[in-house]
A = this chain, B = another copy of it.
């Protein structure tokens, strides 16, 4: 079973807003065993919307349309669909009642532009009758079409809660099973991963894909078919081979991130962490605390951007900073040791470097980064020279530091 995704909005074709919803939908549909034949992004132009929808209906089994369903004047999807599929819009009375009740409670005008949301193409069924921005479903030529709002969190909730169950029920018994795993790799290039995997001469039933996803490489393995027992066997054997070949370079699988993996390892080891950041400016702390439950192993940190913060909050001596500079092996060492002492953490990381675009010198060019790690026994410092923009240097530094910690916790 395969489908197409049509995202609508001038904000997308003019590149002002990134289209994140199509990728989200593709990801979850793919995992549920549906293939995406193509994804299209077009402007709020009724004729184009109609054309794209009719072409999609002529070649795939379902269509997902996002965007252009809101109350503002530039939201034209419903009108376009009504015209293209020859289904006049009619008021959905439940929705209309809800909207009017809502407007009374907030004492809005008697006829509000919000009422536009209640007018749907003939035959439309709302996806969630309890919400006025729930999107709707049409069955046309025996194929389901789903219309969802373009706002990412609304679209995502409706896709998971409404579209996937409805689609799966509609096309039950016609699905192939899918086994898929994505290995996340740090410290090897896409081509190295490709060459090393190729040398394994894996079973041809396994589709392999290589994707540089800065700062990582993703290696995906997919097997599809109806003989689930045979598929699972091939899949498991292939995974084992790849894991052995890549070793520690694989830091995680599927939805895992470097920061979630590090979090699990810290908890397993019963260790608490603190981080002193200079050139990464809080990025490592932000990554760590984006994981729910991180307070169990992350105490916090210091962003010592100015030298005074390094001396006052981390106890780095002024003389050391004068003698070696804030970007130095010695400063990184003192920052890590100071952070560990001040916080009482078992392990402390420190970062000092030059993220650019200015501030480099011949001796320490932009991209020079020192990463320190202190535990009860010692404080080690690693020096790196990283290429790229300010953002790339900051992101690569954060990933490198977390990967050093991961490898430390594994051994």
Q: Which positions in A face B, CB cutoff 8 Å?
A: 9-20, 22-30, 35-43, 48, 52, 70-74, 113-114, 151-153, 182, 190-191, 194-195, 198, 207-214, 218, 220, 274-275, 277, 280-286, 288-290, 292-295, 298-306, 308-309, 312-313, 342-344, 356-358, 388-392, 394
Picked from B15, B73, B208, B342, the residue with its CB within 8 Å of the CB of A74 is B208
A285 to B285, CA, bound (A): 9
Tell me the complex Cα distance, A342–B23, Å: 45
CB-CB < 8 A to A71: which residues of B?
Answer: 191, 194
Residues of B within 8 A of A211 (CB): 9, 11, 16-17
A366 to B292, CA, bound (A): 13
Give the Cβ gap from A205 to chain B, nearest Cβ, in Å. Answer: 15
- Taking CB atoms, residues of chain B closer than 8 Å to A281 are 285-286, 288-290, 294, 298
* 11 A-B contact pairs sorted by A residue (CB < 8 Å): A15-B27, A37-B42, A38-B40, A40-B40, A281-B290, A282-B283, A285-B286, A290-B391, A299-B306, A299-B308, A309-B343
Complex Cα spacing A275 to B23, Å: 35
A389 touching B74 in the complex, CB below 8 Å, given contacts A299-B306, A306-B299:
no
Identify A392's interface contact among B14, B22, B153, B198, CB under 8 A.
Answer: B153
B18 touches A23 (CB 8 A): yes
Q: Is the beta-carbon distance between B312 and A342 smaller than 8 angstroms?
A: yes
Question: Do A30 and B15 touch (CB < 8 A)?
Answer: yes
A22, B41: Cβ atoms under 8 Å?
yes
Q: A343 is contacted by which of B11, B212, B312 (Cβ under 8 Å)?
A: B312
Shortest Cβ distance from A357 into B: residue? B292
A37 to B208: give the CA distance in the assembly, Å.
33
Contacts of A70 in B (CB 8 A): 190-191
> CB-nearest residue of chain B relative to A154?
B212
A74 to chain B: closest residue by CB: B209
Contact, CB under 8 Å: B18 / A36: no
Give the shortest distance, in Å, between A129 (CB) and chain B (any CB).
22
Output the least CB separation between A298 and chain B (Å). Answer: 6
A30 CA / B17 CA spacing, docked (Å) = 13
CA distance in complex: A294, B19 (Å): 30
Contact in complex: A305, B289 (CB < 8 Å)? yes
Question: Which residues on B sit within 8 Å (CB–CB) of A282?
Answer: 277, 282-286, 288-289, 301, 303
Query: Please, which residue of chain B has its CB at the minimum distance from the CB of A71?
Result: B191
Q: In the complex the two chains form, is A72's CB within 8 Å of B309's CB?
A: no
Determine whether the beta carbon of A26 is less than 8 Å from that of B38. no
Most chain B C-beta atoms within 10 Å of own C-beta, residue among A41, A191, A388: A41
CB-contact partner of A218 in B11, B357, B391, under 8 A: B11
State the CA gap A28–B15 with chains docked (Å).
8
A24 to B15, CA, bound (A): 6
Whole-angstrom distance between the alpha carbons of A104 and B218 in the complex? 28
Q: Which residue of B lies closest to A211 (CB)?
A: B11
Contacts of A38 in B (CB 8 A): 13, 40-42, 48, 52
A21 vs B3: C-alpha distance when bound (angstroms): 23
Residues of B within 8 A of A390 (CB): 290, 292
A277 CA / B289 CA spacing, docked (Å): 11
Known contacts A14-B30, A308-B343; 5 further A-B pairs (Cβ under 8 A): A15-B27, A151-B212, A277-B282, A292-B358, A300-B306
Known: A52-B38, A282-B283, A289-B305. A16 touches B356 (CB 8 A): no
Q: Are B18 and A20 in contact (CB under 8 A)?
A: yes
